A and B are shown apart, each in its own frame.
Chain A
Amino acid sequence: MRRVRDMMRSRAGELLKDGAVTRVLGWKSGEFYYDPTPSFFDTEESLDELVYNGFSAAMLSKYLIEATKKEGRVLVFLKPCDTYSFNHLLKEHKVDREKTYVIGVGCGGMLDIEKLRALGVKGIESMEELGENLVIHTLYGDKKFARGDVLLEKCATCKGLEHKASDELAVPDELWEWETSDRFARVSELEGMTSGERFAFWRGELSRCIRCNACRNACPVCSCNKCVFDNPRSGVIAKANADTFEENMFHIIRAFHVAGRCTDCGECSRVCPQNIPLHLLNRKFIKDINAFYGEYQSGESVDGKSPLTEFRTGDVEPGIVHERGGA
């Protein structure tokens, strides 16, 4: 990852210098190793603070909506999964491709600080990423983890390391690759439960929701100028956290609004302060779409219709839900 960072810094410097781009969108180092912040860099000197490590998970694609409204061209660093969201934004005319310069950056899997905390890590002073290991120095002693054990959910079930959009790549040969698991496995598991068990599961998860809107605001697909749930005139404004229907409504409709559009970037779950596995809602839609209408992954390309804006005369009937196994 350090090698990728060096490539990023040097290319960004060159492109800024020769005027090919006016701004660079990357990650800036934070207080701790694990908290880089998305940031714009407009001088070569400022690039010293450009970081790229196992905690550069925050996706940059969505920032391009505002960034490309301004003058000049933006250099953006996109991890493979971020390129899906980039394509989706292009498809919906949210981002001006002409004003972007995309460097696809190699990814060694992003790490989950919450998983580390759950494993008892506290008082972090510094970290080192050493190949497939992560060493953490804390106030309460050093700890070592295998990278594969502390990957973000979205990375453990990675869709693949191919960039779906880029002007050039910064992918060194020696990047750590990892074994991924089936991204639909957990969805299948839930499908195998009884209706009552599923209800209990989701009630448990969704009742933790604090309606902070982080999932929505981080989502590259939820890019409405004004969300229906924020609009007093929509008739469904939902600010209250009534620990009952509201969260169901919000999350079902949010998932439905991004159905067929969701790039499965996993940001919703990553940013959820309550660790609600929101991606399982979106993946359910993706899984159903694949089963009902043929394989489709939003963001793989800019062209073509999405499953909910097209149809076939022989499509499955909604009654298919009743024909499925289980209860």
Chain B
Amino acid sequence: MPINEEGAAFKPLIVAFCCNWCSYAGADLAGSSRLNYPVNVKVIRVPCSCRVNPLFILRAFQRGADGVIMCGCHPGDCHYTSGNYFARRRMALLFSMLDYLGIERGRTRVEWVSAAEGAKFANTMNQFAETISALGECRRLEDIRCVESEI
């Protein structure tokens, strides 16, 4: 496990955008099933994965997130019938672009998690956190104004 300057184990900051109807409920189920996943995974609730604007993802990286994951209903199960299909195209293109710009591709991920898949949610977050831990801090999209100062 990478160790940072203070000698403490590196705990990546992970932002998870979850749709209200499936994935957020899946995250809740992981909770009610008392399944563990890293404390630095923080969930932001959105109505649908199609509400996730690339601006939000870049903003998270700007502000020091080490990984961003978007979770939505499985394709075909969207509460709004087609939102996740649009989200899927957007994210496929955005993530490919970030990869192209040299942002480590492991830092972004999309996972479809249903309301019944609490275990999948927890496993996904554990795996993702492991991947990000191995990659270390995200330096390539951060904003030095936000990260390298106390102000």
Verify that A and B bind, or say they do not.
yes
B145 lies within 8 A of A242 (CB): yes
A315 lies within 8 A of B88 (CB): yes
How many angstroms from the CA of A246 to the CA of B88 in the assembled complex? 26
Residues from chain A with a CB closer than 8 A to the CB of B85 are 311-313, 315
A285 lies within 8 A of B97 (CB): yes
Would you mind naming 27 contact pairs between A and B with Cβ atoms under 8 Å apart? A196-B102, A198-B101, A199-B102, A199-B140, A236-B55, A236-B59, A242-B144, A245-B62, A245-B146, A256-B94, A256-B97, A284-B96, A288-B97, A292-B93, A308-B86, A309-B86, A311-B82, A311-B86, A315-B88, A315-B92, A317-B88, A318-B91, A318-B108, A319-B109, A320-B92, A321-B95, A321-B99
Residues from chain B with a CB closer than 8 A to the CB of A249 are 58, 62
In A215-248, the 8 Å CB interface with B consists of 228, 236, 242, 244-246, 248
B92 lies within 8 A of A284 (CB): no
Nearest chain-B residue to A309 (Cβ)? B86
Interface size class of A (residues with CB under 8 A): 35 or more
Known: A317-B92, A318-B92, A320-B92. A199 touches B145 (CB 8 A): no
B residues with a Cβ closer than 8 A to A are: 54-55, 58-59, 62, 75-76, 82, 85-86, 88-106, 108-110, 140-146
Task: Give 10 nearest A-B pairs by CB, closest first.
Answer: A199-B102, A245-B143, A311-B85, A198-B102, A318-B110, A318-B92, A318-B91, A321-B95, A244-B144, A202-B101
A191 lies within 8 A of B88 (CB): no
How many angstroms from the CA of A203 to the CA of B99 in the assembled complex? 13
- Choose among B88, B96, B143, B145 the residue that contacts A321 (Cβ–Cβ < 8 A): B96
CB distance from B64 to the nearest CB of A (A): 11
Residues from chain A with a CB closer than 8 A to the CB of B86 are 308-309, 311
A residues with a Cβ closer than 8 A to B are: 187, 190-191, 195-203, 228, 236, 242, 244-246, 248-249, 252-253, 255-256, 259, 281, 284-285, 288-289, 292-293, 307-309, 311-313, 315-322, 324
B141 lies within 8 A of A248 (CB): yes
Known: A259-B93, A321-B92. A248 touches B110 (CB 8 A): no
- Choose among B54, B105, B144, B146 the residue that contacts A322 (Cβ–Cβ < 8 A): B105
CB distance from B95 to the nearest CB of A (A): 5
- Beyond A244-B142, A318-B91, list 4 extra A-B contacts (CB 8 Å): A195-B103, A196-B102, A242-B144, A288-B92
Known: A284-B97, A319-B109, A321-B105. A256 touches B54 (CB 8 A): yes
How many angstroms from the CA of A256 to the CA of B10 in the assembled complex? 32
CB distance from B104 to the nearest CB of A (A): 6
How many angstroms from the CA of A311 to the CA of B50 in the assembled complex? 12
Residues from chain B with a CB closer than 8 A to the CB of A319 are 109-110
